[in-house]
Amino acid sequence: MTQSESQIELLEPPPVGVVVEDKVAGVAGQSPTRLALGRFRKDRLSMIAFVVVAFYVVAAILAPILVKFDVIHPTALNPTLLNVDLGGVPNGAWGGMTWHHLLGLEPRTGTDLLSRLWYGMTFSLTIALTASVVAIVIGTVLGIISGFSGGIVDAVIGRMVDVTLSFPQTLMLLALSATGVALFAKILPGSQSDPLPNAVYEVLLLGLFGWPGIARLIRGQVLSIREREFVDAARLLGASRSRLYFKEILPNLWAPVLVQFTLIMPAYISAEAALGYLGVGIHVPTPTIGNILKDSVNYSQADFGYFFFPALLLAIIVVSFNLLGDGIGDALDPKADR
């Protein structure tokens, strides 16, 4: 949104030599962060989304510990609870839902579905988080360089963005998966079948295709920041390029970076599920939301609960992350009306 002229004047720093600190402190006394937090707290929908996301994240972090201490059992078999005549569909309504198995059982093995989903969330979130970090880091660094340098550097990075955006990402992921995974299996320690090569491949490709949008956005921000006086001042004082990038400009970019991060996370969570469904991601038996969905779609008629709960879980987390991202964006930039 463009600022009105009067606002620009207001935001302009005071002329050199005029001391204004006391005056500002007297008027407000609140940092921009505190102001944003206050706005965020007042938005009930965002708070609900935040609580849901926090719950998911904490649960995902706890899952491996709970497995270690035998609280949840993502691999245990319960063949006695299954209906053999129907090919191993759980006995009872909603996929064998009981107090012991709150979301029912997985068909054919009788593994507790809640345990599997819970443990799977750890892998799905780890992949989405790592891929987001890769995309954000590349996008931010290239965006700053591009916006600050201008000229030929800007043009080159701009074309890189264009080229990357024009690649059919999903097709590339599918087409390169065999060679890509084999390559990482050779480079990384461990055997060919380790889930690590698959995970690294997925994270890198998601990240490598995710940065262009962020780079463009950051570049736009940098273009306006670099004209500000404090940047000129730093430059006149002989600050190095890296100091200008990371000490002067970067701190002013946290808001857009944070918003981008919360928006890219849910995109990658659903991307992981889609890729798992297509058979590119981490392989079974490691449970991920994608792996579970891939198996459960075959049971949409035979065992609706098995199909429904993983899909519901995925939908909730993606929606929550998106609402959280919107909420943070609104709180940091209140002028952007909904």
Partner 1 sequence: MANYRKKALAVAVAASMSVALAACGSGSSNSPSASGKGGGTLTYYVRSTYDHNDPQRTYLGVELANWNRMVYRSLVSFPMSSDPAVAAKPVPDLATDTGTSSDNAKTWKFTVKDGVKWQDGKPITCEDFKYGASRVFATDVITGGPNYILTYLDVPLDPKTGLPAYKGPYTTANNDVAAFNKAITCDGNTITYHFKKPWPDFPLAVASLHMMDPYRKDKDQGDKSNYQIFSNGPYELQGAWDKEKGGTFVRNPNYDPATDSTDIRKALPSKIIFDIGKTSEQITDQLIADRGADQGAVTQQSIPSSKFSQITGAVADRSVSVESPFVDYLVPNMKRLTNPVVRQAIAVATDDTGWVAAGGGPKSYKPATDIVNPAVSGYQSDLFPGGGGDPAKAKALLTSAGVKMPYPITYSYPSTPTADTQARALQAGWEKAGFKVTLDGVADSDTYYTNIQEPDQTADLDWAGWGADWPSAITVTAPLFDSRPNLTANSNGQDYGAYKSDAFNALVDQAQASASIADQTKYLQQADQVLAKDVAYIPLDIPIFFMLHGSKVMNYTTDPASSSYPELGAIDVSSSVK
Q: Which residues bind partner 1 (CB under 8 A)?
A: 75-77, 79, 82, 84-89, 107-109, 111, 178, 191-194, 279, 283-285, 294-295, 298-299, 301-303
Whether residue 13 is preceded by a cis peptide bond, meaning omega within 30 degrees of 0, is: no
Q: How far is the CB of 77 from partner 1 (least distance, A)?
A: 5
* Side-chain-facing half-sphere of 273: CA atoms under 13 Å: 22
Q: How far is the CB of 92 from partner 1 (least distance, A)?
A: 14
If the CB atoms of residues 76 and 315 are measured against partner 1, the closer one turns out to be 76
If the CB atoms of residues 76 and 156 are measured against partner 1, the closer one turns out to be 76
Q: How far is the CB of 206 from partner 1 (least distance, A)?
A: 19
Q: How far is the CB of 227 from partner 1 (least distance, A)?
A: 53
What token pair was written down for 80?
A: 């006695």
How far is C-alpha 61 from the chain's CA centre?
A: 15
Residues 118/192, Cβ–Cβ less than 8 Å: no
CA dihedral 87, 297, 49, 99 (to 10 degrees): -10
> What is the Cα–Cα distance from 179 to 333, expressed in whole angstroms?
44
Q: How far is CA 180 from CA 50, 165, 190, 298, in A?
A: 36, 20, 16, 28
Q: How far is the CB of 270 from partner 1 (least distance, A)?
A: 21
Single-letter amino acid, residue 222: V
Q: How far is the CB of 315 from partner 1 (least distance, A)?
A: 22
If the CB atoms of residues 6 and 191 are measured against partner 1, the closer one turns out to be 191
Closest CA to 113 of 290, 284, 296: 296
If the CB atoms of residues 77 and 319 are measured against partner 1, the closer one turns out to be 77
If the CB atoms of residues 31 and 192 are measured against partner 1, the closer one turns out to be 192
Q: How far is the CB of 279 from partner 1 (least distance, A)?
A: 5
What token pair was written down for 239?
A: 């600050």
If the CB atoms of residues 212 and 281 are measured against partner 1, the closer one turns out to be 281
Enclosing H/E stretch for 66? helix 44-68
If the CB atoms of residues 178 and 233 are measured against partner 1, the closer one turns out to be 178
> What is the Cα–Cα distance from 333 to 338, expressed in whole angstroms?
11
